[in-house]
A and B are shown apart, each in its own frame.
Chain A
């Protein structure tokens, strides 16, 4: 056969090559693969030589052994565009490390030939664009210690053979599209130190075989669809330091055995369907640093030993049904973050907060805390939210003078007195719905950071100070509604260039609406922002602003779109004078409520300029004149109320105006036209009685004529014959008269015809 000598030669060459660890096949394989790539990226410059001989051991990212054979190939972040299909894995028998991560255009599948790299210890293919299933042949790599395929688009289930590789120390498969269940063979990974399966679609229960993972320090399974209970065998994982099981569908109790783990520092169980009480021994055996129990259905008391070893920094238990706190919490001086919002906790706030010098983020909102705030709230506090509790008394001076405080939310409590607040870092101050009283709170007059100020629903009185205009350069939301403020609206408000939401409703303000408010720059321009949230960056977390806003008759909480709300609410005051024409320059307004005042004069002619307006409420004033035709330009208007005024004339027609009802215009004596039932007459605007149609109108006329004719006949008949009947002398007189006339007639006729 002619091919057999060739075959023999090739075999000889191969043998020769392997004996000499022939780098020639290795370099050929590298170059062949590189030329198969659509774009080799940096490989072009990395894999070049100056000499005639191509010695890859001199190339960037390549290490060789003493025999000159490649043992390490490192091509991370090389902007490679192509696939691994033409990569001849079998040409690299001595390869121990393969780093090919962070090439976002490296696509296609992982070829099964990768299983031929018998000496491979480290395999890193993360942060690429690889698809398809994980090849089972990887389980042939009996020396593999590190396997990192995370941040790709791999699909299918994790092959059970892979979870059987006892050589593995680090297994990272997170951030893919893996499905199926965690194989029970996982128990064989006795050397495993870190397991990342997070951010996939893995279902089923956590296998009980995890008890064999006695070397595992990090168990990361968050963001999957794991269900069932956490196996109590977890208590046997003696090296476990971090357990992150968040964002799954785990049910049942936390197994009590978890408290026996001697090395557990971080236990993250948030966002599952766990319930029951949390074992009171949790924290007894280990140095807990971080706990996340949030968004589950836990009940009872927060476990008392969490802070036993004095290391607990992060305690997150929001959105459960806890009712009690352990007294040990007050002495947990290592705490930096405490979040218990939305539980049913009934506790004295002064017994909860206190000895926490490092506590910077506190959220106790929406519970049943009572009592008064302690004075030693810690000097490092960044964010304090107590909203929705039953706390009373005053605000401690230490808090009011805090130089670090950025977010303070005291709304919906029973606080009664606000001291001078001199917190220069404050960005958000909510104090609404308390029992605060006195004049406009003495705030420091130089707030370069304040974005939101809400002191509505209290008993503040006195004037709104004019320095407000020059003291809040970045203020976006100003809410003073539902107080007893009086006096004039200070025109200096117009200097607030970032103001978006202005609410002075339900006070005793009088006088005119200052026309210079048209200078509020942030309301003049139409909202053109990419960011619809208002966020505060506080201690490496993003806190989002939210307010409860009454709009279109419904009160709702606005958070995701709060930065888009642009409105003025001066309703329910005693404002007088005209609505300034200049106000119509505020083209960014989506809501304008001036109802329930004593505003007079006409609605400005150019009201049509407010093209973003969705809500316009001018009801219950004494506005007169006609409704300007330009109102028909407001094509976004979905709520309109002009009722209870003194408006006259024809209601303009227009596309949005056609969609409103009678009730939106009612109680305006001179107003006519659709949608009111009364038509307008062309020469004057008096009311015409309701008639169905012209024929009906004529009908009534005809009836009147007929009636009066008949009446005339009846009266005439009875007057004449009645008189004849009753008065004899009249009868005589009439009959005599008739006889005389008859005689005269006969005489005349006789004379004429002879």
Chain B
């Protein structure tokens, strides 16, 4: 039952994606539809996502501002499985990206670095892998970045020290390696923010050459 309704809503989503080039003004809705197409949603949380509407502002779990631009995406704890696609980067006014406690897999798309208004990125407690994209250093408004409890690998990009608004960061419980930056906002994060990364070697050694080892 649920699968047939999922199929129908997904089909309607994709049908309009394919046959409505005139809906260019609805590119945020298209982006969300493309996002939905990569997902399996047994709880039918995305049942209200109907691409045929003028904008996605009446969709549940989507919040818009007064000019009908998406500012929040709240899908935490929704039993969703799937991957994150580059289309999320098209939500130019997004402030809150809440995708925590699901089963998102694959990499964090580097296009998320385009979300210049993003204040909160909560991708924690999923199964994301791959490296933390360097492009996330473009998120100048970011205050909260929680990627803990995933399977992220690689080193912590040094570029993230430029995020001067960052107040809370949590990379714990991953598989990160190398050293922890100490500049900028990183000087304020407690060690708990990085714990349980077996291959993480502690704060970076400042000197003539700062380098990552063991990565």
Point out residues on A near B: beta carbons under 8 Å.
Answer: 528, 530, 532, 551-554, 556-558, 560-561, 564, 590, 614, 635-639, 655-656, 658-659
Q: Nearest Cβ in chain B — how far from A477, in angstroms?
A: 16
Q: Nearest Cβ in chain A — how far from B198, in angstroms?
A: 25
Cβ–Cβ contact A638 & B61, under 8 A:
yes
By beta carbon, the residue of chain A nearest B168 is: A658
Are A558 and B58 also in contact (CB < 8 A) when A637-B74, A639-B63 are?
yes
Q: Nearest Cβ in chain A — how far from B33, in angstroms?
A: 14
- Residues 33-72 of chain B, each 1 if its beta carbon lies under 8 Å from chain A, else 0: 0000000000010011010110001111101101010001
B76 within 8 A of partner (CB): yes
Are A561 and B61 also in contact (CB < 8 A) when A635-B76, A655-B76, A658-B144 are?
no
By beta carbon, the residue of chain B nearest A549 is: B58
Are A658 and B120 also in contact (CB < 8 A) when A530-B1, A564-B47, A635-B77 are?
yes
Interface size on B, residues (CB 8 A): 31
B96 within 8 A of partner (CB): yes
Q: How far is the CA of A580 from the CA of B64 in the complex (A)?
A: 31
Cβ–Cβ contact A554 & B48, under 8 A:
no
Q: How far is the CA of A623 from the CA of B5 in the complex (A)?
A: 42
By beta carbon, the residue of chain A nearest B100 is: A655
Cβ–Cβ contact A561 & B50, under 8 A:
yes
Q: Nearest Cβ in chain B — how far from A652, in angstroms?
A: 16
B199 within 8 A of partner (CB): no
For B98, list chain A residues within 8 Å (CB). 655-656, 659
Cβ–Cβ contact A561 & B60, under 8 A:
yes
Cβ–Cβ contact A638 & B72, under 8 A:
yes
Report which residue of A556, A558, A635, A659 has the largest number of chain B beta carbons within 10 angstroms of its beta carbon.
A659
8 Å CB interface, B97-142 against A: 98, 100-101, 120, 122
For A532, list chain B residues within 8 Å (CB). 47-48, 50
Q: How far is the CA of A554 from the CA of B66 in the complex (A)?
A: 7
For A556, list chain B residues within 8 Å (CB). 57-58
Contact of B58 among A553, A561, A639, A658 (CB under 8 A): A561
For A530, list chain B residues within 8 Å (CB). 1, 4-5
Cβ–Cβ contact A614 & B74, under 8 A:
yes
Contact of A614 among B44, B60, B120, B168 (CB under 8 A): B60
For B50, list chain A residues within 8 Å (CB). 532, 560-561
By beta carbon, the residue of chain A nearest B125 is: A655
Cβ–Cβ contact B58 & A656, under 8 A:
no
Cβ–Cβ contact A636 & B120, under 8 A:
no
Instruction: Give 4 closest A-B pairs by Cβ, nearest first.
Output: A635-B77, A561-B48, A638-B74, A635-B76
For A551, list chain B residues within 8 Å (CB). 58
Q: How far is the CA of A659 from the CA of B121 in the complex (A)?
A: 10
Q: How far is the CA of A564 from the CA of B5 in the complex (A)?
A: 14
By beta carbon, the residue of chain A nearest B97 is: A659
Q: How far is the CA of A310 from the CA of B96 in the complex (A)?
A: 61
Q: How far is the CA of A635 from the CA of B102 in the complex (A)?
A: 12
For A552, list chain B residues within 8 Å (CB). 63-64
Cβ–Cβ contact A635 & B101, under 8 A:
yes
Q: How far is the CA of A686 from the CA of B166 in the complex (A)?
A: 29
Q: List 9 A-B contacts (CB under 8 A).
A: A554-B57, A556-B58, A590-B60, A638-B61, A638-B72, A655-B76, A655-B122, A656-B74, A656-B76
Cβ–Cβ contact B63 & A638, under 8 A:
yes
For A558, list chain B residues within 8 Å (CB). 58
Cβ–Cβ contact A659 & B120, under 8 A:
yes
Q: Nearest Cβ in chain A — how far from B148, in angstroms?
A: 12
For B1, list chain A residues within 8 Å (CB). 530
Our count of residue pairs bridging A and B at CB distance below 8 angstroms stands at 74
Q: Nearest Cβ in chain A — how far from B84, in angstroms?
A: 18
Q: How far is the CA of A635 from the CA of B48 in the complex (A)?
A: 18
Q: How far is the CA of A558 from the CA of B74 in the complex (A)?
A: 20
Cβ–Cβ contact B59 & A561, under 8 A:
yes
By beta carbon, the residue of chain B nearest A658 is: B144
Q: Nearest Cβ in chain A — how far from B62, in angstroms?
A: 8
Q: How far is the CA of A658 from the CA of B122 in the complex (A)?
A: 10
Q: Nearest Cβ in chain B — how far from A176, in angstroms?
A: 16
For A557, list chain B residues within 8 Å (CB). 58
Cβ–Cβ contact A659 & B60, under 8 A:
no
Q: How far is the CA of A363 from the CA of B126 in the complex (A)?
A: 51
For A553, list chain B residues within 8 Å (CB). 66
Q: Nearest Cβ in chain A — how far from B16, in angstroms?
A: 12
Q: Nearest Cβ in chain A — how far from B180, in angstroms?
A: 22
Q: Nearest Cβ in chain B — how far from A199, in angstroms?
A: 12
Q: Nearest Cβ in chain A — how far from B117, in angstroms?
A: 14
For B5, list chain A residues within 8 Å (CB). 530
Q: Nearest Cβ in chain A — how far from B165, in angstroms?
A: 14
By beta carbon, the residue of chain A nearest B4 is: A530
For B61, list chain A residues within 8 Å (CB). 614, 636, 638
Q: How far is the CA of A135 from the CA of B77 in the complex (A)?
A: 55
For A635, list chain B residues within 8 Å (CB). 74, 76-78, 101
Q: How far is the CA of A557 from the CA of B57 in the complex (A)?
A: 10
Contact of B60 among A564, A637, A655, A658 (CB under 8 A): A564
Q: Nearest Cβ in chain B — how far from A148, in angstroms?
A: 26
Q: How far is the CA of A261 from the CA of B99 in the complex (A)?
A: 62
Cβ–Cβ contact A636 & B76, under 8 A:
yes
Q: How far is the CA of A530 from the CA of B48 in the complex (A)?
A: 11
By beta carbon, the residue of chain A nearest B96 is: A659
For A636, list chain B residues within 8 Å (CB). 61, 74, 76-78
Q: Nearest Cβ in chain A — how far from B2, in angstroms?
A: 8
For B57, list chain A residues within 8 Å (CB). 554, 556
By beta carbon, the residue of chain A nearest B48 is: A561
Q: How far is the CA of A682 from the CA of B191 in the complex (A)?
A: 24
Contact of A560 among B53, B66, B68 (CB under 8 A): B53
For A590, list chain B residues within 8 Å (CB). 60
Q: How far is the CA of A564 from the CA of B57 in the complex (A)?
A: 15
For B66, list chain A residues within 8 Å (CB). 553-554
For A655, list chain B residues within 8 Å (CB). 76-77, 98, 100-101, 122
For B64, list chain A residues within 8 Å (CB). 552, 554
Q: Nearest Cβ in chain A — how far from B101, in angstroms?
A: 7
Q: Nearest Cβ in chain A — how far from B136, in angstroms?
A: 18
For B100, list chain A residues within 8 Å (CB). 655
By beta carbon, the residue of chain B nearest A558 is: B58
With A532-B47, A560-B48, A614-B61 already in contact, 8 other A-B pairs whose C-beta atoms are closer than 8 Å: A530-B5, A551-B58, A561-B47, A561-B59, A638-B61, A638-B74, A658-B122, A659-B74
Q: Nearest Cβ in chain A — how far from B113, in angstroms?
A: 20
Q: How far is the CA of A656 from the CA of B47 in the complex (A)?
A: 21
Q: How far is the CA of A558 from the CA of B59 in the complex (A)?
A: 10
By beta carbon, the residue of chain B nearest A560 is: B50
Q: Nearest Cβ in chain B — how far from A639, in angstroms?
A: 7
Q: How far is the CA of A528 from the CA of B5 in the complex (A)?
A: 11
For A638, list chain B residues within 8 Å (CB). 61, 63, 72, 74, 96
